[in-house]
Chains A and B, each alone.
Chain A
């Protein structure tokens, strides 16, 4: 097959930060009319490459050519003018303005300084139409859900290049994790738009953590590892197992071990019982028993009450009915302190806002809960503290293994481990993990799951919440299914329990 000339070619890209070589000689090319996935674990250099390409960072070495001409961008707006547009994970639009304005603001059609509103609406509507979308351009952006706002952001970025006249439009569109907050239908709509753009000859660079999505929509992929190029492949030539091996650079022993992992059978006596516990408007009263050494998984859609249930068991929200008994003693649950005193630990899904203190060091973050449990009048002795911290950094393989590193600078997976370490150090009887693997790469995911297994083997009870059903199934002895803020089923895990079965339970809402 004769390959056309690439629209964008990056050769030997080098980017250095003080003490770190973020990119060492990476080659990357992008052809018109293709969707190209950029893959790699967290910290592999994906974001750095994109930022170099869009002019956010300056180059330390290598060349970038666009349509055969060497280019060098010093700001995102320069890259934009050259036809390289970026849509980020966060929607960067103004919710208070209309859709039409959001698409065209900054280049509104004017006449003697007066905005031509009719023309603006017409042009925006044409652009929306051309991309085959059905959006009312007069409605305020905030009246649409996030997914549509994301589409509007794409329309804006596609339209940006049109300023030099029709046809000169965007040639390269970079989509940086656009799907992370979309549901399945919305993802499909986004993909449809991506395919239409592709047919119009736009080259799309797509970054996503979801491998299924890569295989669904991409033609070609480039894999990075530790700032270096691992390979460029056509998607149809490389299966998912091969891809994961390329990404993490080692065989899949770790992961496979987990797949074959048998749930250990020595579940002990009852640890926690919730009896008709509920909170009006948050979650309907539920009964739940968690035994020592048992992993209870919670499955359900986002917003089905998973987190709400967990927060009640931790006293982060106060139940207005029912009672919680832990280890035979009734716990009032009027504040998290009650739960902590009873041996419950809670790792929030929102690790940045509700868990970690990004400006403190790894050491300080880890000892936070232990110190809180002791009270501020009894500081943890320095020697004991350093020993504990060193032990958990090693046990959880936190990288960099530097207790003085600021937590904010760690990758998502390592931040999650720090949060885990904080609670493990207090030796809880029940560990509540709310989405511990969200947004972290596959290697770190496997490590955290392995940790959950070994903790439960040591007799710790775990309440595990995850969006991915396979993950819940793999780890849990019992699976609680939630739907519409109600615990609708409790299933004992076994060979007959499959993701499909759970999905059916979620869909029907019936206990079978």
Chain B
């Protein structure tokens, strides 16, 4: 007679969760919720401002154009957050890249085609260094990337205390190029950001590297014991984020056509907000980069709606973002507590 039984006898159907539970536990649900929210907000915009031109295709496409740099930065942040980390240096790297680019193009007279790879390399290398420190000295990513935030912001001022406007003709023509699309047009930046999104999706879902990012975010210790190269993956994740930040910086420079030491201050927080609203868990391991796209679009749409409203101050954007973020984190919390057995 054994009396070591220490659990409730399992109910017969305990292995196949009920349908409602399954839907609630589905990891795609947060993305669908965000996409649904976007559609509802867009429909509200249509009904309220249709006489003011809200229904025009270009208003929709402008969401992509005006937020291209945020999307690229948020894609990088998605990698980091999926792996269970955080990157606070994003905004500073963007600001630094605008300064670096403007300075090399305007003051040093280098052609933009040479400057682009240099800027990307510097951003990626910065990310690599932060990842290396996080991994090899076992320091909290929060602290390491906070140091990165100050470092890159400081480096902006080393280049110049004044903003540098970009007047280079190649840059201007790139900035003004329009790629027509169904009754409207996209900018070069918007196209680049969508390509980055597509590449990120492929990498995260169809390569071993991408799956390792999820595995580390799910349980870092397990990933190590399962024999996965956990250290290298972690460093790579921060390198990707650094690269994306630099690319976002280039798009930002293209969009604003200047470099400024104060560009993109605090943008890392917008990127993190977009990722979280897009349904990625801050604890890592769960989320989709497509959700990040919707997160960015929702943030962008809030801005447009407030512009169309006309009477509201732009600070309402921040308030709406804050409320949304809070709501989504609460939703995530209830979902994860349901999911754990």
Query: Which residues does A use to contact B, with CB under 8 Å?
Result: 76-77, 80, 88, 91-97, 101, 105-106, 108, 110, 113-115, 117, 140, 142-146, 148, 156, 182-186, 210, 212, 301-304, 467-470, 499-500, 503
Contact = CB atoms under 8 A, between A and B. Distances in A.
Contact of A106 (B8, B15, B228, B339): B228
5 contacts: A93-B222, A97-B211, A115-B211, A142-B339, A145-B10
B5 A184 contact: yes
Nearest to B10: A185
A76 B25 CA distance: 34
A96 B286 contact: yes
B227 A148 contact: no
B226 A302 contact: no
Contacts of B226: 92-94, 105-106, 156
A10 to B, nearest CB: 23
Contact of B341 (A145, A185, A186, A503): A145
A77 B27 contact: no
Nearest to B203: A113
A185 to B, nearest CB: 6
Contacts of B207: 110, 113-115
B319 interface: no
Interface string B1-27: 111111111100011010000100101
Contacts of A467: 3-6
Q: Which of A93, A94, A303 gathers the greatest number of chain B CB atoms within 10 Å?
A: A94
A145 B219 contact: no
Given A92-B225, A500-B1, A183 B7 contact: yes
A212 B2 contact: yes
Contacts of A77: 227
Nearest to B284: A96
B217 interface: yes
Contacts of B219: 92-96
Contacts of A503: 3
A143 B18 CA distance: 11
Nearest to A483: B8
B340 A142 contact: yes
Given A115-B208, A142-B340, A185 B9 contact: yes
A114 B14 contact: no
B221 interface: yes
Interface of B: 1-10, 14-15, 17, 22, 25, 27, 205-208, 211-212, 214-215, 217-219, 221-223, 225-228, 285-286, 339-341
A470 B3 contact: yes
A138 B22 CA distance: 13
Contact of B9 (A93, A101, A183, A210): A183
A499 B3 contact: yes
A318 B211 CA distance: 45
B15 A212 contact: no
Contact of A499 (B1, B8, B15, B208): B1
B4 A210 contact: yes
B245 to A, nearest CB: 25
Contacts of B1: 499-500
Nearest to A471: B3
B206 A183 contact: no
Contacts of B5: 183-184, 301, 467
Given A93-B226, A94-B219, A184-B5, 17 more contacts: A80-B227, A94-B214, A96-B217, A96-B218, A96-B219, A97-B215, A97-B218, A101-B215, A106-B208, A115-B205, A142-B25, A148-B15, A182-B7, A183-B9, A304-B8, A469-B3, A470-B3
A80 B227 CA distance: 9
A302 B7 contact: yes
A303 B227 contact: no
A489 B229 CA distance: 55
B191 to A, nearest CB: 24
Contacts of A184: 2, 4-5
Nearest to B82: A96
A97 B219 CA distance: 10
Contacts of B339: 142-143
A117 B218 CA distance: 20
Q: Which 7 A-B residue pairs are closest in the complex by CB-CB distance? A: A94-B218, A183-B7, A96-B218, A96-B285, A469-B3, A302-B6, A92-B222
A470 B1 CA distance: 10
Contacts of B8: 183, 301-304
Contacts of B286: 96
Contacts of A97: 211, 214-215, 218
B215 A94 contact: yes
Contacts of A115: 205-208, 211
Nearest to B17: A143
Contacts of A117: 206
Q: Which of B5, B205, B217, B221 gathers the greatest number of chain A CB atoms within 10 Å?
A: B5
A468 B3 contact: yes
B4 A212 contact: yes
Contacts of A108: 208, 211
Given A148-B15, A302-B8, A469-B3, A94 B285 contact: yes
A140 B222 CA distance: 16
A88 B222 CA distance: 11
Nearest to A91: B222
Contacts of A182: 7
Nearest to A113: B207
Nearest to B216: A94
Contact of A468 (B4, B10, B25, B341): B4
Nearest to A503: B3
Contacts of A468: 3-4
A105 B211 contact: yes
A144 B219 CA distance: 16
Contacts of A304: 8
Contact of A140 (B25, B206, B212): B25
Nearest to B212: A105
Q: Which of B27, B227, B340 gathers the greatest number of chain A CB atoms within 10 Å?
A: B227
A105 B10 contact: no
Contacts of A301: 5-9
Contacts of A105: 211-212, 215, 226, 228
